[in-house]
Amino acid sequence: MGAKDHADRAEKEIVSARCVVLTVSDTRTAETDESGRKAADILAAAGHVVADRRIVPNDRGAIADAVRAALAAGVDLVVAIGGTGVSRRDVTVEAVRGLMEKELPGFGEMFRMLTAKEIGTAAIMTRATLGAASDGRLIVVTPGSTAGVRLALEDVLVPQLKHLLWELRK
């Protein structure tokens, strides 16, 4: 069975994914969280269910706890927005890495390649990451900008989401 056959089968077997969107920020509120709203809109437009959307403080423990809680609630995908840069406060990747059984480096590679077409070599400063938890659920960490969220979800992850979940669970 080829990749196209697997993708077709995944489309039939996985109708939608249950998702949680976590915006990592010390300054955003539910009203000002444009990136979280963008992520929820993209996921919903693709037929997925956004079970929860919230702001999480930019704290390693709080981020890990929020992701753990989302996974414990049975969601298929946790989207963590923000904290992918290189500053001292950018700790989202470190907070979730220990919750991933398998990292999927192709996501970050593809994201940075597409980002470089838009912003040039500054793309090296993002650590956008995707990984699978031990039970076949996905955790993605995207930059905090709406453009970064759009690129990460709409152009890279969502087109492969059902296939990824299907592969992780077979």
How far apart (Å, rounded) are the C-alpha atoms in residues 28 and 36? 10
Q: What is the pLDDT of residue 68?
A: 97
pLDDT band at 14 (very low <50, low <70, confident <90, very high): confident
The answer to whether 68 and 135 have CB atoms below 8 angstroms apart is no
Evaluate whether residue 109 is within a structural domain. Answer: yes
Amino acid at the residue 155: D
Evaluate whether residue 6 is within a structural domain. Answer: no
Q: What is the pLDDT of residue 64?
A: 98
What pTM was computed for the model?
0.93
Evaluate whether residue 2 is within a structural domain. Answer: no
Helices (H) and strands (E) in the chain, counts: 7, 6
Evaluate whether residue 8 is within a structural domain. Answer: no
Evaluate whether residue 3 is within a structural domain. Answer: no
pLDDT in tens, 42-88: 999 999 999 999 999 999 999 999 999 999 999 999 999 999 999 99
Evaluate whether residue 48 is within a structural domain. Answer: yes
Which segment of 6-20, 68-82, 134-148 scores lowest on mean pLDDT?
6-20
pLDDT at residue 10 greater than cutoff 70: no
Evaluate whether residue 11 is within a structural domain. Answer: no
Whole-number Cα distances in Å, 48 to 22, 52, 159: 16, 12, 12
The answer to whether 165 and 150 have CB atoms below 8 angstroms apart is no
Domain range for residue 132? Answer: 17-169
* Region at 83 (left for phi over 0; alpha for psi -120 to 50; beta for the rest): left
Specify the number of domains making up the chain. 1
Q: What is the pLDDT of residue 11?
A: 58
pLDDT in tens, 76-119: 999 999 999 999 999 999 999 999 999 999 999 999 999 999 99
pLDDT at residue 1 greater than cutoff 60: no
Evaluate whether residue 55 is within a structural domain. Answer: yes
CA 47 from centre of chain: 16
Say which CATH number the domain at 121 has. 3.40.980.10
What's the rounded mean pLDDT across residues 21-46?
A: 97
